[in-house]
A = this chain, B = another copy of it.
């Protein structure tokens, strides 16, 4: 694929946001990205969202935002792949530009989850599972992740407290991110004394239902030199949608495939990755992601979390602005928050959580319990 650049980024604070409609929230992030890029209107808009039809009685987000932003008559579509909808929109926009149909595009991810009762949102999230095999039987996503975590602990001998480090790291970084949902450090004791959601997943293993929007401005023309962040790799892969059909529920084989292809496209190995925005919707997904992306052997990720490797000055910094856990997880927007954060890091604009001398950054967005995984690598230059 031809070289495509990120010329602008925008994000709204992740929180309960009852003052804005879905359109206004997405529009805010889009306007920030347009302002940041300062290149005028792009030729199209791609919107990542999962559940606005049920949660906000609003679909048709491509035309809706094109209209709201004043991008008269320009094309726009919505992309959906559950919690990886944001990265799906990003990848669709990349392909649109690489095809020559568009020379620039705005990618917006939005999810507004806190307007609805939590039971409805839990039910909407379950539409990412197979309705015939999982969803209609009442299996929620926290339950699916609890099954995986239980099996992981059994197979590799880890205790629940060994997973605390993922969450402690995310919260430590979120303190410095003005857009994070929970800007509050937590301790091992906090983790050990919080409530249980679905054994063994406790409250501090789980990312929060949130409202938020993030946006990126993509262009085929190289921006000015200090903004020259390019997309070095884009790769997507699927796996069985239901957990029960998977040969090995402890391996994210779609993540392994998409990461492997992404490294090939970028011409690098995991060693060159300066930071990794992983999809820590639950601590167990953080662990499996690190393993699937080649940062450690299967079953070894809690060691990386506990020996400091994932800290800002460690071997592979993760969740540098709070991750899904503490920045928050507005599902359709998450993949674009990740990419905005990688871009800001590569631009050297990550503030107090700036990773030193990172030239390559990776973001990996997961839909379902590992069934749709999209990996992007960004490059400074």
Q: Report the separation of the CA atoms of residues A23 and B240 in the bound assembly, to the nearest whole angstrom.
A: 13
Instruction: Point out the residues of chain B lying under 8 angstroms from A95, CB to CB.
Output: 92, 95-96, 99, 101
Instruction: Point out the residues of chain B lying under 8 angstroms from A135, CB to CB.
Output: 57-58
Oligomer: number of copies? 2
> Is A1 located at the chain interface by the 8 A CB criterion?
yes
Within 8 A of B (CB), among A152-176: none
**Residue interface mask A10-27, B partner, CB < 8 A = 1:** 000000000001110000
> Is A76 located at the chain interface by the 8 A CB criterion?
yes
Rounded to whole Å, the gap between the CB of A173 and the closest CB of chain B is: 29
Instruction: Point out the residues of chain B lying under 8 angstroms from A242, CB to CB.
Output: 67
Rounded to whole Å, the gap between the CB of A371 and the closest CB of chain B is: 4
> Is A35 located at the chain interface by the 8 A CB criterion?
no
Asked whether, in the complex, the Cβ of B81 is within 8 Å of the Cβ of A76, the reply is: yes
Q: Report the separation of the CA atoms of residues A81 and B82 in the bound assembly, to the nearest whole angstrom.
A: 16
Q: Report the separation of the CA atoms of residues A100 and B54 in the bound assembly, to the nearest whole angstrom.
A: 35
Q: How large is the interface on A (under 10, 10 to 19, 20 to 34, 35 or more residues)?
A: 35 or more
Asked whether, in the complex, the Cβ of A77 is within 8 Å of the Cβ of B67, the reply is: no
Rounded to whole Å, the gap between the CB of A110 and the closest CB of chain B is: 13
**Residue interface mask A234-264, B partner, CB < 8 A = 1:** 1011111110010000000110010000000
Q: Report the separation of the CA atoms of residues A241 and B98 in the bound assembly, to the nearest whole angstrom.
A: 28
Instruction: Point out the residues of chain B lying under 8 angstroms from A51, CB to CB.
Output: 53, 59
> Is A88 located at the chain interface by the 8 A CB criterion?
yes
Instruction: Point out the residues of chain B lying under 8 angstroms from A66, CB to CB.
Output: 238
Asked whether, in the complex, the Cβ of B238 is within 8 Å of the Cβ of A63, the reply is: yes
Given contacts A53-B53, A53-B54, A53-B124, contact A80 B98 (CB under 8 A): no
Give the contacting residue for A75; candidates B62, B130, B237; CB below 8 A.
Answer: B237
Rounded to whole Å, the gap between the CB of A130 and the closest CB of chain B is: 7
| Closest B residue to A368 using CB positions | B60
Asked whether, in the complex, the Cβ of B74 is within 8 Å of the Cβ of A238, the reply is: yes
Q: Report the separation of the CA atoms of residues A367 and B142 in the bound assembly, to the nearest whole angstrom.
A: 35
Instruction: Point out the residues of chain B lying under 8 angstroms from A324, CB to CB.
Output: none
**Residue interface mask A32-62, B partner, CB < 8 A = 1:** 0000000000000000001111101111111
Q: Report the separation of the CA atoms of residues A51 and B58 in the bound assembly, to the nearest whole angstrom.
A: 11
Give the contacting residue for A238; candidates B23, B76, B78, B368; CB below 8 A.
Answer: B76
> Is A131 located at the chain interface by the 8 A CB criterion?
yes
Asked whether, in the complex, the Cβ of A241 is within 8 Å of the Cβ of B57, the reply is: no
Asked whether, in the complex, the Cβ of A60 is within 8 Å of the Cβ of B81, the reply is: yes
Within 8 A of B (CB), among A64-107: 64, 66-67, 71-82, 88, 91-92, 94-101
Give the contacting residue for A73; candidates B53, B54, B253; CB below 8 A.
Answer: B253
Rounded to whole Å, the gap between the CB of A62 and the closest CB of chain B is: 6
Q: Report the separation of the CA atoms of residues A371 and B240 in the bound assembly, to the nearest whole angstrom.
A: 36
> Is A132 located at the chain interface by the 8 A CB criterion?
yes
Other than A58-B130, A74-B237, give 18 A-B pairs with Cβ distance below 8 A.
Answer: A21-B132, A22-B131, A57-B135, A59-B127, A60-B81, A61-B80, A63-B81, A63-B238, A66-B238, A67-B240, A72-B238, A73-B237, A77-B79, A77-B80, A77-B91, A79-B79, A92-B96, A95-B101
